[in-house]
A and B are shown apart, each in its own frame.
Chain A
Amino acid sequence: MKDLQPIIKSLLRAKTAPLLLMLQIAVTFTILVNAVFMLLQKSDEINVPSGLAENELFWFQMSLHGTREEKKTSLFRDLDAIKALDSVSGAVALSSIPFSERGAGHEIRLERDAVGYVTKAAFYSGSYQSLETMGLELIAGEGFTINDERRLYNFGLDVPSGVIITKVLAEQLYPDDWRQVIGETIFLDEDAQPVRGVVEHLIGPWSFWKNRSFNVLFSNVFITPEVSILVRIQGDNIDKSMQDVMDVVMQEPRRTVDHLEVMTDSREKAYRAQVAAYSTLKAVVLGLALITMLGVFGQTRFAILKRRKQIGTRRALGASQIAIVRYYVIENAVINLCGIVLGVVLAVVANNLLVAHFQLEPVPGLYLVYGGVIIFLAGFLAVLQPAIRAASISPAEATRSV
Chain B
Amino acid sequence: MLLYYFKLAMLSIRKTPLLSFLMIATIAIGIAATMITYTVNYMMTQDPVPGKSDRLFTVHLSSWDPNVGYRMKDGKEDIPIFMTYQDATNLYTDQRAHKQTIISFHKAMVRSAAQPRGQATMTYLRPTTHEFFSMLNVPFLYGSPWDASDDSQGSQIVVLSKKKNEQLFQGENSLGREVVIGGLIYRVVGVLDEWLPLPRFYTERSDSYSEPRGLFVPFQSSINNDWLSGTDGSVYCWGGADLIDLNALKASECVWLFYWVELASAELRDDYLAYINRYAQEQKALGRFQREQMNRVMNVAEFIEYNEVVNKDGRIAVWLAMAFLIACLLNTMSLMMTKFHGKGAEVGLRRAVGASKVDIARQFFCETVIIGLAGGAIGLVLALLGLYVTSEVYSHLHAGLMEMNLSLMLLTIGSSVLASTVFGLYPIYKACQIQPSSQLKSL
Q: Interface on A for B, CB 8 Å cutoff?
A: 16-17, 20-21, 23-24, 27-28, 30-31, 34-35, 38, 61, 63, 68, 71, 101-102, 107, 116-117, 153-158, 189-190, 223-226, 228, 254, 256-258, 269, 272-273, 275-277, 279-280, 284, 287-288, 291-292, 294-295, 298-299, 302, 305-306, 350, 354, 358-360
Contact = CB atoms under 8 A, between A and B. Distances in A.
Nearest to A259: B231
Given A225-B245, A273-B394, A116 B330 contact: no
A228 B231 contact: yes
B33 interface: yes
B333 interface: yes
A298 B229 contact: no
Nearest to A353: B319
B108 interface: yes
Contacts of B109: 256
Interface residues of B, number: 61
Contacts of A273: 313, 394, 396-397
Interface in B24-60: 26, 29-30, 33
B273 interface: no
B107 interface: yes
B354 to A, nearest CB: 25
Contacts of A228: 231
Nearest to A97: B231
A328 to B, nearest CB: 16
Given A27-B323, A35-B320, A298-B335, A101 B206 contact: yes
Contact of A258 (B122, B241, B317, B396): B122
B366 to A, nearest CB: 22
B326 interface: yes
Interface in B89-127: 107-109, 122
Contacts of A299: 334, 338
Given A35-B320, A225-B230, A291-B26, A28 B396 contact: no
Given A21-B334, A102-B231, A154-B242, A276 B68 contact: no
Given A16-B430, A354-B316, A107 B334 contact: no
Given A107-B71, A256-B109, A273-B394, A295 B243 contact: no
Interface of B: 19, 22, 26, 29-30, 33, 65, 67-68, 71-72, 75, 107-109, 122, 182-183, 206, 228-231, 237, 240-245, 248, 312-313, 315-317, 319-321, 323-324, 326-328, 330-331, 333-335, 337-338, 341-342, 390, 393-397, 426, 430
A158 B245 contact: no
14 contacts: A16-B337, A20-B333, A20-B337, A28-B327, A68-B244, A158-B240, A190-B68, A277-B313, A288-B327, A291-B328, A291-B331, A294-B26, A299-B338, A302-B19
Contacts of B108: 256
Contacts of B75: 116
Nearest to B328: A291
A291 B241 CA distance: 60
